[in-house]
Amino acid sequence: MKKEVKNIFNQSYEQHESKVDPASIWEAIELQKGKKKRRGFIWWFVGPSILVLSLFAYQFFGEENITETATSEIVENGQKAISSLSANEEVTLVEEIELKEEMVGSVNKTPEANINNVIKRNKLNQKLKPASKEVEISNTQNNLEALGNSFNVKDINQLQQSRDRKVNGQVNAITNIGNSVKNAPVDLVTENETAVVIEEKLNDNTSFSVLEAMEKLKVLEQEVVTSENIQSESFQKKMVNFADVSKPEEKADSRTKFNLTVLGAAGLFTDKFIDADPDSLASRIESESALESFSSEILVGIQFGKIGLETGVNYHRSNRVMEWSSKYFGDIDGRLLYPHDPNRINPSLLVSGAAGDSSQIFYYKHTLRKYNETHTVSIPLIINYTHSFKSLDLGLYGGAAFHLMQVNNNDVLSHNGILIDQRKDLFISRRPDWMAGTFLDYKLNENISLTSRVGLRFRKTQESKLAVQTNFYTLGLGLKFHLN
């Protein structure tokens, strides 16, 4: 071909502009980009779950911190106040206890009650050094309010309603205060505060296993304590050695526990096809889309303190849709003139014919859809780390699921577009699925917990040269039965 002619064609090509609506192209691109962005749904799934777990954790850990702070403030402030007592001044423990009990009971009640408390508090303060009076009043008031708030709201009412469930918490509170007393120099108010705390607890907990130690404190309530006799041998003998106070919770934690979990889960997943030649994957990538997955499992667990092991049986099902849109041209009556894209799922739809008059050709599209399922039965082996707090167990887990069998109920397209029937195809995959996630258990009672799990499960399946990497994102709910 002559150079001159080639140049003419080149110029024609360079300068030609096809009619196009850039706005619609841009809109379509944005939509396509949006679709890709939506693949970030994983984070929409995992993100809120982490947030919910964090809120739970904050709610309960936060309350614990407030209680501990209030208690330590009481002890600390009490120490400051009593350090100003002179040797011959005395304050009865009973008097203090009575006052505090009334304050505890009347906080947030009536103005009259509060006035009475102020009068009583002033009487008490008269026995203290005038120089430190203001500090003491303020301290005592703060202490009482803190004590009142914490016990009124958190402990006293709840103790009456659910005594047994709170036993561990009470022991912790007592032990915490006890340790503070033990570590601090022995002084009156520290013991008073301790006694008050225990007094509150004892009223409702006569069956409490640490009653022996508490009984010693009961004796102390009736004592008239001064700065002098606090050092006396007889008084010292009556002091509670808080190191002797047993910690039933720790003992319980160290015990081996068994549990049975029944769990159902649902979620979404993504497929990634891996092959040396990307073109050969075109048919499958074009045709297959992930839908959703379900699983159910029964797990038997053994817990050693914070670490646990679980195993059992897991049934897992994933659903996919395979669809192919064939495109062809026809005349105005819908008669096929010639096919454009043969339908890979059902090639018989392809109709050959001669090209017709282009002025009368219309564009047609026909979509065929099939649903595929993959069923897997596996034995999971899971290790978990649990942090218990009151009625909640929060933890992390990870492990593998070893396949017992996998059944495909599939039709797939081969690299050259031929339909391959994999229905009722049964095999065992040597590769285990890997799992990881978080869980949150809520103890409904001593025997049953409501358990929830947010997790990831990774599966790699080898099909001839083709590998399919599937990532499952699941949310599970179930019941955990504590067997001892």
Partner 1 sequence: MDIGRLIKRLKKGEDQAFKELVFSYSSKLLTTARVYCNQTREAEDILQDALIIIFQKFDSFKGNQEAELLAWMRRIVRNKAFSRNRKFQVKNELTVGEYLVDVEISPDALSSLSYNEIMQLVLDLPDGYRQVFALYVIEGYSHKEIAEILYISVSGSRSQLTRAKQSLQTKFTKLSKISYK
Binding residues for partner 1 (CB under 8 A): 1-2, 4-6, 8-13, 15-20, 22-23, 25-26, 28-29, 32-33, 279, 282-283, 286, 327, 340-342, 363, 416-417
CB 67 within 8 A of CB 173: yes
**Nearer CB in complex with partner 1: 18/234:** 18
Question: What count of other Cβ atoms lies within 10 Å of the Cβ of residue 108?
Answer: 12
**Nearer CB in complex with partner 1: 33/218:** 33
SS3 letters across the chain: CCHHHHHHHHHHHHHCCCCCCHHHHHHHHHHHHHHHHHCCHHHHHHHHHHHHHHHHHHHHHHHHHHHHHHHHHHHHHHHHHHCCCCCCCEEEHHHHHHHHHHHHHHCCCCHHHHHHHHHHHHHHHHCCCHHHHHHHHHHHHHHHHHHHHHHHHHHHHHHHHCHHHHHHHHHHHHHHHHHHHHHCCCCHHHHHHHHHHHHHHHCCCCCCCCHHHHHHHHHHHCCEEECCHHHCHHHHHHCCCHHHCCCHHHHHHHCEEEEEEEEEEEEEEEEEEECCCHHHHHHHHHHEEEEEEEEEEEEEEEEECCEEEEEEEEEEEEEEEEEEEEEEEECCCCCEEEEEECCCCCHHHCCCCCCCCHHHCEEEEEEEEEEEEEEEEEEEEEEEEEEEECCEEEEEEEEEEEEEEEEEEEEEECCCCCEEEEEEEEECCCCCEEEEEEEEEEECCCCEEEEEEEEEEEEEEEECCEEEEEEEEEEEEEEEEECC
**Nearer CB in complex with partner 1: 253/286:** 286
Question: What count of other Cβ atoms lies within 10 Å of the Cβ of residue 29?
Answer: 10
Q: State in angstroms the smallest separation of the CB of 28 from partner 1.
A: 5
Q: State in angstroms the smallest separation of the CB of 9 from partner 1.
A: 5
CB 314 within 8 A of CB 378: yes
Q: State in angstroms the smallest separation of the CB of 328 from partner 1.
A: 10
Q: State in angstroms the smallest separation of the CB of 40 from partner 1.
A: 16
Taking the alpha carbons of 70, 74, 77, 80 in that order, is the dihedral positive or negative? Answer: negative
**Nearer CB in complex with partner 1: 306/340:** 340
Q: State in angstroms the smallest separation of the CB of 363 from partner 1.
A: 6
**Nearer CB in complex with partner 1: 33/306:** 33
- Phi and psi at 49, nearest 5°, equal -65, -45
**Nearer CB in complex with partner 1: 151/329:** 329
Q: State in angstroms the smallest separation of the CB of 439 from partner 1.
A: 38
**Nearer CB in complex with partner 1: 2/430:** 2
Q: State in angstroms the smallest separation of the CB of 330 from partner 1.
A: 13
**Nearer CB in complex with partner 1: 36/237:** 36
**Nearer CB in complex with partner 1: 263/337:** 337
Q: State in angstroms the smallest separation of the CB of 12 from partner 1.
A: 4
Q: State in angstroms the smallest separation of the CB of 406 from partner 1.
A: 29
Q: State in angstroms the smallest separation of the CB of 19 from partner 1.
A: 7
**Nearer CB in complex with partner 1: 27/164:** 27
Relative to beta strand 433-443, strand 448-463 is antiparallel
What is the Cα–Cα distance from 195 to 242, expressed in whole angstroms? 12
Q: State in angstroms the smallest separation of the CB of 24 from partner 1.
A: 9
**Nearer CB in complex with partner 1: 34/111:** 34
Q: State in angstroms the smallest separation of the CB of 358 from partner 1.
A: 9
**Nearer CB in complex with partner 1: 6/465:** 6
What is the Cα–Cα distance from 390 to 368, expressed in whole angstroms? 55
